[in-house]
Amino acid sequence: MLKEKAGETAGKIWIALDGTEGLTAKQIKKATKLVDKDLFLGLGWLLREEKVATQDLEGELYVKLV
């Protein structure tokens, strides 16, 4: 069940990031209406699949598709 939720959440994040140069975690949360734990669950899935790259920019988590 958690695996299914992670995949669905990853899909929402992917859609939010598609067509952008990248977004901060706050921007992704706003676009997807995800809570922190679900956001990080989905990001973990995408990171494991090597679909996104992350970096810390001025104290903000920045995420982009690779």
What pTM value is reported for the model?
Answer: 0.92
pLDDT classification of 16: cutoffs 50, 70, 90: very high
Read off the pLDDT of each residue in 5-19 and give the average, rounded to a whole number: 96
Residue 32 CB: number of other CB atoms within 10 A? 20
Residue 62 confidence (pLDDT): 97
- CATH number, domain of 16, equals 1.10.10.10
- Cα dihedral 14/19/23/28 (nearest 10): -40
Token pair belonging to 25: 């975690």
Question: Could you list the residue range(s) of the whole structural domain that residue 19 is in?
Answer: 2-65
pLDDT classification of 3: cutoffs 50, 70, 90: confident
**How many Å apart are CA 52 and CA 20, to the nearest integer?**
12
Domain total of the chain: 1
Tens of pLDDT, residues 37-54: 999 999 999 999 999 999
